[in-house]
Structure 1
Amino acid sequence: MVDAARPTAGGRHAATRVLSRNESSHSPSPDIVATVAASGREVNRYPDPACTGLTLALARRHGVEPDRVAVGAGSCALLQALFQLAGPGAPVVHAWRSFEYYPILAGQMGICSERVPLADDAHDLTAMADRITATTRLVVICNPNNPTGTLIGLDRLRAFLDRTPPTCLVALDEAYFEYVDEPVGTGGLGLCDTYPNLVVLRTFSKAYGLAGLRIGYLIGAPRIVASLRELSLPYAVSGPAQHAAVAALGIEEVLLARVRETIAERTRVRAALMADGFAVPASQANFVWLGLGEDAGPFGRWCARTGIELRAFDGDGIRVSIGSPSDNDALLAAAHQWRVPDAPELLTTGAVR
């Protein structure tokens, strides 16, 4: 996917502060770097196709049997398999705006993408339940939602699942779960026993800082996991990725301390943006959302000219990843300048406030 705010030719320099991809701003832990380096000595061999060590580690971590854990090359690979399970012609319901990959996957699989508008930047679960029919085979809920960062509490999820027929699979995409600091954000794993049509996806790309290794996982009923394993490409998850993920689980407290630093920065950035007059919904992810509407594109280009790359959705809004304190300071300075009436970008676009 192309970042709309990336600078173009004509004198604009390439962005040096990348706040568009929701990556961890922290360098990899030395323990993980050492693990990857050691596993590199075996790259002449195929990796374990069953991801046995990681599957067992995840089963222990979450208190489930190993047959309830599926590992994939990023949670996107597992989402792709879920869309395959839904089958061509079966409508898939998801919120919009939400993760951009959902409608792309639907198009690839010949599936009708039923997009349900957000309500106040959050999932409208009542409207989503109303869209489910006898032919609906999959509903995807991104929680916290990407790109708005909003969170659905477990009570609302339970009410939604109570309305969902058992023939319809519900995929709870919790890629940003570790960044949730609200009491209601305990995650959906505890609901899987009550609702066997529920699966929960998580990733090592964000809080665990392994985006470059592409590794994610899913927890659900054994029958669903077995079907997903059958659809998986052989040897899709590399040996270094498997070893790094196991190592990350072993130093989870260290990594979650870094997450708390990101949460503190998220709070600071949101407060500063709101003080400058931006509307910023409360985020439970490692990014914040600016619902700028028609000003989204101009603001993205304005920041790109200062060397800051954001994720701009033209006509809708801007997603700002939380980066290092210095990167965040640069973003806040650019956003503050955007509010100055005589700023050059405002004069050329007519978007004076």
Structure 2
Amino acid sequence: MVDARPAVQALPAYRPGRNPADLARELGVARAVKLASNEVSFPPLPAVVQALAAAAAETHRYPDNGAVVLTAALAERYGVDPAQVVPGCGAVMLCQQLAQAFNDPGSSIAFAWRSFEMYPLLAQVAGARAIAVPLVSGRQGGPADTHDLEALAAAVDGTTRLVFVCNPNNPTGTAVRRVELERFLDAVPAQTLVVLDEAYREFVTDPDVPDGIELMRGRPNVAVLRTFSKAWGLAGLRVGYLVAEDPAVADAVRRTHVPFSVSVLAQAAAVAALASEDEVRRRVAAVVAERDRLTAALRERGFDVADSQANFVWLPTGDRTAELAAALEARGVITRPFAGDGIRITVGAPDEDDVLLAALDAVALERSAAATPGG
């Protein structure tokens, strides 16, 4: 028998969000809603649909391995050299490439926790030590939901090759601000690469939360990750990108990519999406407005919801997490629970969020009845 490496055998299986059509059939209801994967509820951009139709005629050919057109478009957008830009098969693949490029067994990767669930798995696969620094409360009396950058900087040691700062943080939606982030970047040793993971950057409305690409400039040990999966609506095509201040960092990541992993369709769609930025901004504004409505409605129901800077909200439900998520699913609402911590809920279309709120009300009513003597 051929055995996989112990580190690989120990990896938990990835569990994607349930298919809402499957859940609806299981429950015998007309509709279930999925608020688990932080997708936008809008259909693909019209320009993307047109680009995909045109590109489909080329799918018998391999894609451009260097994604030259997309790389040039991103470089122009951010005012950097194309040598600083690396497209990839989603930002998560670029995270893996970063670990492959910079971590040897015995090195370490540092990150806040709870944060993006791939970070500890990257360390495990690379044979690196995971340095998980607990979150702290972002507001007086609130739950632990925000990066402790001072503790994260103190945790970095001579073995630390990578530090991930997820900003806004997934799954809590909170974000660290300019002064604290600049102080942190100045404190990290020059030989440690800080990766600002900004998958949700487009949804940030707090003016004190800085653009990571602007903070990156002049700091050769800083790189920024972004994705087309969220605000740009290309989750099904898998395309993200890294921008590094030091072209040598980008070159190292480029060397670890799987050849042709950014498909013909993904490249064409991403270029078309970039050319549709005005429409994307309108869609983002609609998501933000709905985020505000959903946040207010959840607070009215007694949930301690922090101001989110992403396209999801976080319910710090602690030990009640699994029970509440199961109760919502039984009512046709799919969320993303993190056992013992909380539930991440994607900001959906208004009618989808209304289904969620009605389900929460039904759960509360049932609990109230159960708690009433004779109920």
Which TM bucket (shorter chain)? over 0.9
SS at match of 2:260: coil
TM-score by length of 2: 0.89
The alpha-carbon distance between structure 1 residues 152 and 22, as it changes in their structure 2 partners (threshold 3 A), is same
Counterpart amino acid of 2:46?
A: P
SS at match of 1:288: strand
Report the counterpart of residue 350 of structure 1 in structure 2: none
Report the counterpart of residue 169 of structure 1 in structure 2: 193
The alpha-carbon distance between structure 1 residues 77 and 4, as it changes in their structure 2 partners (threshold 3 A), is closer
Return the alpha-carbon distance in structure 2 between the equivalents of residues 27 and 151 of structure 1.
28
Offset at 1:339?
A: 2.4
Q: How does 1:179-328 map to 2 (within 5 A)?
A: 179-220=203-244, 221-328=246-353
Return the alpha-carbon distance in structure 2 between the equivalents of residues 3 and 335 of structure 1.
23
Deviation string, structure 1 residues 151-193 (Cα, Å, up to 9, x no partner): 1112111100111000000000000000001111231111222
TM-score by length of 1: 0.94
Offset at 1:107?
A: 1.1
Deviation string, structure 1 residues 291-315 (Cα, Å, up to 9, x no partner): 0001111110111011110001121
Report the counterpart of residue 98 of structure 1 in structure 2: 115
Report the counterpart of residue 4 of structure 2 in structure 1: none
The alpha-carbon distance between structure 1 residues 62 and 248, as it changes in their structure 2 partners (threshold 3 A), is same
Larger relative contact order (Cα-Cα within 8 Å, sequence gap ≥ 6): 1
Return the alpha-carbon distance in structure 2 between the equivalents of residues 92 and 31 of structure 1.
39
The structure 2 residue matched to 1:67, chosen from 80, 83, 92, is: 83
Counterpart amino acid of 1:48?
A: D
Deviation string, structure 1 residues 169-218 (Cα, Å, up to 9, x no partner): 00000000000011112311112222110000000000000000000001
Fraction of identical pairs, as percent: 44
Q: How does 1:1-12 map to 2 (within 5 A)?
A: 1-2=14-15, 12=27
SS at match of 2:270: helix
Report the counterpart of residue 149 of structure 1 in structure 2: 173
Gaps of 5+ in 2: 1-13, 138-144
> In angstroms, what is the RMSD of aligned CA positions?
2.0
The alpha-carbon distance between structure 1 residues 5 and 42, as it changes in their structure 2 partners (threshold 3 A), is closer
Return the alpha-carbon distance in structure 1 between the equivalents of residues 28 and 311 of structure 2.
26
The alpha-carbon distance between structure 1 residues 137 and 70, as it changes in their structure 2 partners (threshold 3 A), is same
Return the alpha-carbon distance in structure 1 between the equivalents of residues 158 and 311 of structure 2.
36
Offset at 1:86?
A: 2.1
Offset at 1:87?
A: 2.1
Return the alpha-carbon distance in structure 1 between the equivalents of residues 251 and 16 of structure 2.
36
Offset at 1:4?
A: 8.0
The structure 1 residue matched to 2:126, chosen from 106, 109, 113, is: 109
Q: 1:4 touches 1:312 (CA, 8 Å); kept in 2?
A: no
Q: 2:197 touches 2:225 (CA, 8 Å); kept in 1?
A: yes
Counterpart amino acid of 1:91?
A: S
Gaps of 5+ in 1: 348-353
Return the alpha-carbon distance in structure 2 between the equivalents of residues 267 and 332 of structure 1.
14
Return the alpha-carbon distance in structure 1 between the equivalents of residues 368 and 346 of structure 2.
24
Offset at 1:340?
A: 2.4
Deviation string, structure 1 residues 101-124 (Cα, Å, up to 9, x no partner): 111111111111111110011000
Return the alpha-carbon distance in structure 1 between the equivalents of residues 274 and 367 of structure 2.
51
Q: 2:18 touches 2:34 (CA, 8 Å); kept in 1?
A: no
Is 2:64 the partner of 1:48? yes
Deviation string, structure 1 residues 245-288 (Cα, Å, up to 9, x no partner): 00000011101110110000000001000011011111000000
Report the counterpart of residue 35 of structure 1 in structure 2: 51
Report the counterpart of residue 83 of structure 1 in structure 2: 99
Bigger drift between 191-200 and 276-285 goes to 191-200
Offset at 1:334?
A: 1.3
Q: 1:265 touches 1:325 (CA, 8 Å); kept in 2?
A: yes
